[in-house]
Each structure stands twice: as structure tokens, then as C-alpha cells.
Amino acid sequence: MLKRDVLRKPKTLYLLTNNDGKLREFRELGASHSLKIAKAGLEKLEIQSSSLEEIATYAALTGYLSLRKPLLAEDAGLFIQSLNGFPGPYSSYVFKTLGNEGILRIMDGMNLRRACFRSAISLVLDIQTIKVFTGEICGSISNKVRGKSGFGFDPIFIPEGYTRTFAEMSVKEKNKISHRAKAFNSMMEWLENNSF
């Protein structure tokens, strides 16, 4: 077998993020697989693209080239059906500028409140091994801001089958169903089956 075909499952993965809420969720997810998630301590470079996968992969590759250690980057977004998928890949900017109250104002009077969170995790183990994993959870946009935990749009997102928003759940509970957990679990499955 060629040396590059032999993959070792990392004990630590570096996460490229400035978002402490995200870091907390990834750490909790990693812990249940005996995988340590460490903060990469680098700026996440975000290109403008309509594809979460492209944004995550560009960020992960540039991060890897600086750090040269197994690293992952995630790009996630909230896609609201009646707004044709807005804010989607622009979620970070829209959260900073409009926030939860701004989204609720735009949706005032709208009966169709379906929305989905999507996550794309790009994993770089070495320069030849780059993989992207995705996850999605759908639900609805609440009528008011509810809950104190989590981050971003958590206080206005109610997952399907629940009455509480993500911000009214613990990290453990959110991690059982979230878009991020689904992408992360696919990544873990791939690592288990493709490394030793």
C-alpha cells in the first residue's frame, strides 16, 4: 500500500472558528467519540459563494496550509423557505446586521414559516485528503425570540417534532438532532471506516 493510502484516525482535530457556541457543540460531539477538538486560533477566511461546501473547503484548506495539522472548518446557514432560502450562505452577515428580531420583522404576517439549518464540514487530514460532510435539520421559525442557550438563530428555530426552540435546549439535546451533529456523525463514520 502506498504511504499516502494509510490514514491514521487523528486523536485531535483543530477547528477553525471564532464562534464559541460552535466550539462548545463540536467539543461535546468530539467527546462522545473520544476525539479532542482544539481551537485552531487562526482567522477563518470566508469567500463569497452560494455553496456552504465551497466556503467551508476554502476556509479549511487555507487553515491547513498555515497550521499543517488535521483540521476542520464548518460553514452553516439558515434557509427560510418563504424567503427563497435567505439568508442561507449569508447567515453570518445577516445575523450581525438584522439579528433574530430583524428576521421576525421580515416574516411578520407570514404563515409559511418552514426553515432548515444546513451544515457543511470540510475535513483536511493532509493535502491529499480533503472531504466534505453535510447535515440538515428542518423545522419552523417561531413568532418570537425564545430561550437563552446556544447562539445565532437558535432562539427563533423550532426543530420539527418539538415545541421548544434550539435556544431552549441544552447543548446535549441540540447535538442529538442538529444539522452540525448530522454532518459531524457522517465525518466520524467516514473516519472509522477509512483509517485505523
Taking the C-alpha atoms of residue 161 and residue 138, their distance in angstroms, rounded to an integer, is: 10
Mapping DSSP to helix (H, G, I), strand (E, B) and coil, where does residue 50 land?
Answer: coil
- For 61, the grid coordinates are 484548506
- Residue from 26, 58, 64, 117 touching ligand IMP (CB under 6 A): that is 117
Q: Which is nearer to ligand IMP, 45 or 67 (CB)?
A: 45
Q: Using an 8 Å Cβ cutoff, are 141 and 108 in contact?
A: no
DSSP symbol at 121:
E
CB of 120 to ligand IMP, least distance (A): 9
CA separation for the pair 158, 140 (Å, rounded) = 5
CB count, 10 Å around CB of 9?
16
Residue from 13, 14, 15, 92 in contact with ligand IMP (CB under 6 A): 92
Measured from the CB atom, is 60 or 76 closer to ligand IMP? 76
Q: Which is nearer to ligand IMP, 35 or 183 (CB)?
A: 183
Please say which residue, 122 or 125, places its beta carbon nearer to ligand IMP.
122
Contact code string over 38-77 relative to ligand IMP, x by CB under 6 A: ------------------------------------xxxx
- How is 2-52 classified by DSSP, letter by letter? -GGG--PPPSEEEEE-S-HHHHHHHHHHHHTTT-EEEE--S-------S-H
Q: Is 151 near ligand IMP (CB under 6 A)?
A: yes
Kindly state the smallest distance separating residue 179's Cβ from ligand IMP, in Å.
7
Give the CB-nearest residue to ligand IMP: 152
Asked if 152 is part of the footprint of ligand IMP (rule: CB under 6 A), the reply reads: yes
Which residues fall within 8 angstroms of residue 117, CB to CB, at 6 or more apart? 76, 77, 78, 79, 136, 137, 138, 153, 157, 178, 179
Is residue 75 among the annotated active site residues? Answer: yes
In the complex, the smallest distance separating the C-beta of residue 7 from ligand IMP, rounded to whole angstroms, is: 26
Cβ atoms of 126 and 195 within 8 Å: the answer is no
The count of residues in the chain is: 196
Q: Report if residue 162 touches ligand IMP, rule: CB under 6 A.
A: no
Residue numbers at the binding site for ligand IMP (CB under 6 A) = 19, 74-78, 91-92, 95, 117, 150-154, 166, 178, 180
